Amino acid sequence: MGDLSPHDNRPKMRTAMETAFPTWKSKTISSSYGQPYRFAHEMKVGDPIVLPVRPTGEIAIGRIAGNYRWNNDPDLMMNDYNNVRPVDWLKVVPRTTFSQAALHSFGSFSSVSTSNDYLEEVQTVLQGGTLVEEPPPVPTEEADVLDNGATARNNYETVTQETEDYLLKAWQRTGVAFEQVVRAVFEALGYTATVTQASADHGVDVIAHPDALGLERPFIKVQVKSGMGSIGEPEVNQLKGLLNPGEQGVLVSLGKFTSGAKAVERSSLNITLIGPQRFIELFLGNYNDLAPEWRAKFPLKQVFVPFS
């Protein structure tokens, strides 16, 4: 579409999109032209902006720092990064910092959406405050209607992300009891697992045996971290020092691992790091094999999303 500056009202933006994409259906145009218009003309300097960072499971918060501009830098143009809004990024926080209703709003169907519904939450997080109450989900003020294929894809992504948010929030609230969740997952994987006594675990929270009776010597020693803080090299080395010959160490964390922690894992044959995303995959992938009481604690229903 080129420089968006001349298309300074919605009819002009729609016409420009129809010209640039003559094969697109009218319904697709209707669901799409509002996003470049908001990006180029509705965003104002000083407006807060919230960006879900899907690969890391975080939310970046910032403020618009400059007006829209068309960028002719060859490197940016090669990657289709022609349309630019400067942003001052102020804070990056875990998704679970926000209420489920706010996360639902942030993950709306449109790439560029506007809403004041959860502005107070954003300001509270920026100021370092804690969110206590979680309001019920509220539909976003502005939701574009997408064609069937895009709707199916977005439904799938929304269901997946909100399931992950629900589990992480629930596990964070369990505190030390998260060790029991980890034990349940290991049992679903076919191990005999026990949680150690807190007063004498020496840094090992769960011990898993490969045999059904648990008579063989401990094969896997698991350390569990339910906080959202980063896990570094010292914690991984501590677990490594607790392993006897032939034993494996697993560190399960709801927070991120530092580069130093990952370096220890790469150089060790007996250490495995499991972050929040991987643990969610293990939990969901073995959900039907969890003991009934655990499925009751975390009730989930399988849904099917058709793709055209």
How far is Cα 179 from Cα 184, in angstroms, rounded to an integer?
9
From 1.10.10.10, 1.10.3720.10, 3.40.1350.10, 1.10.260.40, which CATH number describes the 175-297 domain? 3.40.1350.10
pLDDT at 287: 93
**Cα–Cα distance for residue pair 110/33, rounded to 1 Å:** 11
Alpha-carbon gap, residue 65 to 45, rounded angstroms: 5
Mean pLDDT, the chain, rounded, equals: 83
In percent, the amount of the chain with pLDDT more than 70 equals 84
CA distances from 188 to 191, 222, 282, 284, 300 (A): 7, 15, 9, 11, 16
Looking at residues 101-128, what average pLDDT do you find?
78
Report whether 122 contacts 97 (CB < 8 A).
Answer: no
Residue pLDDT, tens place only, 36-78: 999 999 999 999 999 888 767 788 999 999 999 998 777 777 7
User: Mean pLDDT throughout 174-189?
Assistant: 89
At 97 the pLDDT is 83
Residue 258: both structure tokens together? 């530092």
Amino acid 82: pLDDT? 87
pLDDT digit string, tens, across residues 7-44: 999 999 999 999 999 999 999 899 889 999 999 999 99
Question: Which is more confident, 132 or 300?
Answer: 300
Model pLDDT, residue 110: 63
Cα gap 106→96, rounded to integer Å: 12
**pLDDT grade for 185, boundaries at 50, 70 and 90:** very high
Structure tokens at 267: 């150089």
DSSP helix/strand/coil, 23: coil
61: its two tokens: 């918060």
Task: Please identify which residue in the block is written with the tokens 């129809």.
Answer: 18
pLDDT of amino acid 303? 76
Residue 88: strand pairing partners: 63
Please check the confidence at residue 146 and state whether its pLDDT lies above 60: no
